[in-house]
Amino acid sequence: MAWDAIVVGSGINGLAAAVHLGSKGWKVLVLERAAVPGGAVKTAELTLPGYAHDACAMNLSMFAGSPFYAAHKAKLDAAGLELLPAGKSFASVLPGGTWLGVESDAAQTMARIAARNPQDAAAWGQMLSEFGTVAPHLFAVLGSPVPSFAVLKALWRAWRALGTAKCMELAKLMVSSPRAWLGAHFQDPGVQAMMGAWGMHLDFGPDVAGGALFPYLESMASQAFGMALGRGGVQTVVQAMVKVIAQQGGEVRCNATVERIETNEGQAKGVLLQGGERLQATRAVIANVHPKLLYGKLLASGSPAAAQPAPSRLRSGPGTMMIHLAMAQMPQWAAGQELQEFAYVHLAPTLDHMARTYADAMAGLLPAEPVLVVGQPTAFDAGRAPAGKHLLWVQVRVLPSVVQGDAAGAIAPAHWDQIKEAYADRVMAVLERYAPGLGAQVLARTVVSPVDLERENPNLVDGDSLSGSHHLDQFFCFRPAFGHSRWRTPVKQLYMVGASTWPGAGTGAGSGYMLAKGLAGA
């Protein structure tokens, strides 16, 4: 049988495209090589039975605030999607055994900042009050195809509403480094570190141009709206989307590896599955894959990489390690037990610490002391572990994909398979220093190296959980390459979505939704 559209890969953007196209009457088939759908948005028992760990993504705030969810909320919720609010979103442990955190109660956040620097508390309040005015315009730009008349309209409306001076401030925000922008707005190094840690979630060390936007958006959005988690894990989003696709007459088929996208006279016609089955698509083939896989494998022509389209040369960001811990109890944070109540605890005490870690990783070295993002989902969703037990989601940012040395001089360079447990021991030592006794409460641990990430999900090339660096030369109309930012390819009726395309990584489903709207006429 022939389908209107075939989606290759069941990441969140591929599923979003299928949901929206299905709502417009298209018959859509989603093909996934893995045993379960979702790509990097996946929940599994990774340590012990009964412990539901989010494999990669944990924070669903981008999804909760996305235009896609707003458009399809009723049917997704009816299909079982359940988001949990995390009012205490994130915190950072700072030098001297102190900490700062952001929670929905702005007065509490500002009181903590005021105890360190009253002027910074006032600056935070002013920034928050302006966020409600400027955020819609920023999100309008991030939610428009680039280049397009839509983004020009968004910029024009921003100028009309905000004026030239404020628009220039926002333009400066978009190109500034975290250190430069934070230093211009806040005096206290602790406030700067608390916000700057968000840059490390992408691949923005404190001194990388373009890195200020994400710390601003995450900090202000967490203050204004809190964080969103999925009940039972991020799988709640995937399961609901799969159910809606089926209700609309589509299908999500797992254990279905696409061997090749078939073309005829420069137009995509369907796919060839491993095993020989051919499937036809009459209107579109949508590849929710990394461009290196699309152009180097699914459209392989035998040409050298240099002769392939520019998207295939998308540069990876640094690698990521995930450590999943089944715990007998929550961490006993030395800086304060209230930290147990936050969804994320960043162990990134200063901008200088982050800069050293980033520089080490980019030089191919294992950082002497990594930056850690400690997720505490059972603080909000006790059902994800057995009664009285907990789990921790530890993301190690940032790491080299190929290890050439060790900044601490303790681990000899080798393949990640040989050294990942040794480096995980270093991470555990850092955790122990911040939360004494934590190691004794670990019931089981699973370590996922950058190499393991790519093995599990080939779209995470080089163990880059973001599917491509987000530096300015690979963002906006340069993602994945100039002339390819509107999800089109040189092959007619073949499109590419996902984290490697505009507007980048995250759970916002932006590329899949925007492409589907374009294909279906909104």
**Nearest residue to 61 (alpha-carbon basis) of 348, 457, 313, 375:** 375
Residue, of 464 and 2, whose pLDDT is higher: 464
**Averaged over 372-395, what is the pLDDT?**
98
Question: Tell me, what's the pLDDT at 33?
Answer: 97
Instruction: Give yes or no for a cis peptide into 271 (omega within 30° of 0).
Output: no
In order of start, what are the domains of the chain with their CATH numbers?
Answer: 2-41+55-84+233-314+468-520 (3.50.50.60), 112-222 (no CATH)
User: Is the confidence at residue 483, as pLDDT, over 50?
Assistant: yes
pLDDT over 90 (residue 450): yes
Does residue 301 surpass a pLDDT of 70? no
Using CB atoms within 10 Å of the CB of residue 290, give its burial: 0 to 12 exposed, 13 to 18 middle, 19+ buried.
Answer: buried
Query: What value does the mean pLDDT of the chain take?
Result: 96
pLDDT in tens, 218-274: 999 999 999 999 999 999 999 999 999 999 999 999 999 999 999 999 999 999 999
CB 136 within 8 A of CB 221: no
Percent of the chain whose pLDDT exceeds 90: 97
**Among 305-319, 331-345, 406-420, which stretch is predicted with the lowest mean pLDDT?**
305-319
Place of tokens 């397009």: 148
Residues contacting residue 239 through CB under 8 Å, at least 6 positions apart: 79, 80, 81
CB count within 10 Å of CB 414 equals: 11
CB–CB of 498/14 below 8 Å?
Answer: yes
Check residue 1 and give its pLDDT: 75
Residue 2 confidence (pLDDT): 87
